[in-house]
Amino acid sequence: MNLSRTLTAALLAMAIVMPAWAGPTLDKVKKDGVVTCGVTTGLAGFSMADRQGKYTGIDVDTCRAIAAAVLGSADKVRFVPATAQQRFTLLQSGEIDVLTRNTTWTLTREGDLGFLFAPPNYFDGQGFMVAKKAGVKSAKELDGATVCVQPGTTTELNLADYFRTNKMTFKPLVIEKLDEVENAFFAGRCDAYSTDRSGLASSRAGKAPNPDDYVILPEVISKEPLAPAVRQGDDEWFDIVKWTIFAMIDAEEKGVTSKNLDDMKKSDDPEIQRMLGVVPGMGKSLHIGEDWGYNIVKQVGNYGEVFDRNVGPASPLKLDRGINALWNKGGLMYAMPIR
Partner 1 sequence: MRAIVWARANLFNGIWNSILTLVVVVLIARGLWEVVQWGVIDAVWSAPDGRACRALSNDAGACWAFIGQWNRFILFGRYPYDAQWRPLLVVILFMVLVLASCDRRMWRAGLLAGMWIFGLAACFILMGGGVFGLAKVPTDLWNGLPLTLFLAVIGLAGAFPLAILLALGRRSQLPTIRALCVGYIELIRGVPLITVLFMASVMLPLFLPAGVTINNLVRAQAGLILFYAAYLAEVVRGGLQAIPTGQYEAADALGLGYWRKTSLIVLPQALAISIPPLVNTFIAAFKDTTLVTIVGLFDLLATAGNAITDPEWRGFYVEAYVFVAAIYFVFCFFMSRYSRNLERRLAR
Q: Which of residues 76-105 bind partner 1 (CB under 8 A)?
A: 78-83, 85-86, 89-90, 92-95
Residue 27's contacts (CB-CB under 8 Å, 6 or more residues apart) are: none
Nearer to partner 1, 182 or 253 (CB): 182
Mask for 104-143, x = binds partner 1 (CB under 8 A): ----------------------------------------
What is 239-267 written as a DSSP string?
HHHHHHHHHHHHHHHTT--TTTHHHHTT-
Shortest distance, position 311 Cβ to partner 1, whole Å: 10
| b (16+ CB within 10 A) / e for 144-176 | ebebbbbeeeebbebbeebbeeeeeebebbebe
Helices (H), the chain: 2-17, 25-32, 58-71, 87-92, 107-111, 155-165, 178-186, 197-207, 235-253, 261-264, 270-275, 282-286, 292-299, 303-310
State how far the Cα of 214 lies from the Cα of 130, in Å rounded to an integer: 6
State how far the Cα of 250 lies from the Cα of 68, in Å rounded to an integer: 16
Shortest distance, position 292 Cβ to partner 1, whole Å: 25
Per CB under 8 A, 246 contacts partner 1: no
Residue 78 backbone class (left: φ over 0; alpha: ψ -120 to 50; beta: rest):
beta
Per CB under 8 A, 209 contacts partner 1: yes
Shortest distance, position 209 Cβ to partner 1, whole Å: 7
Shortest distance, position 88 Cβ to partner 1, whole Å: 9
State how far the Cα of 48 lies from the Cα of 39, in Å rounded to an integer: 8
Shortest distance, position 44 Cβ to partner 1, whole Å: 5
State how far the Cα of 197 lies from the Cα of 233, in Å rounded to an integer: 34
Shortest distance, position 16 Cβ to partner 1, whole Å: 11
- Window of 18-26, 117-125, 248-256, 264-272 that interacts with partner 1 by CB under 8 A: 18-26
Nearer to partner 1, 50 or 176 (CB): 50
Mask for 300-319, x = binds partner 1 (CB under 8 A): ---------------xxx--
Nearer to partner 1, 207 or 287 (CB): 207
| Longest CA pairwise span in the chain (Å) | 80
Number of Cβ within 10 Å of residue 18's Cβ equals: 8
Shortest distance, position 120 Cβ to partner 1, whole Å: 22
Shortest distance, position 148 Cβ to partner 1, whole Å: 15
325 φ/ψ angles, rounded to the nearest 5 degrees: -70, 165
Nearer to partner 1, 55 or 162 (CB): 55
Nearer to partner 1, 45 or 125 (CB): 45
For partner 1, how many residues bind (rule: CB under 8 A)?
Answer: 45
Q: Are 100 and 62 in contact (CB under 8 A)?
A: yes
Residue 120's contacts (CB-CB under 8 Å, 6 or more residues apart) are: 105, 225, 226, 227, 332
Per CB under 8 A, 21 contacts partner 1: yes
Per CB under 8 A, 41 contacts partner 1: yes
Among 35, 74, 205, 230, binds partner 1 (CB under 8 A): 205
Per CB under 8 A, 33 contacts partner 1: no
148 φ/ψ angles, rounded to the nearest 5 degrees: -75, 135
List interacting residues with partner 1 (CB under 8 A). 17-19, 21-23, 28, 41-45, 48-55, 78-83, 85-86, 89-90, 92-95, 179, 182, 202-203, 205-207, 209, 315-317
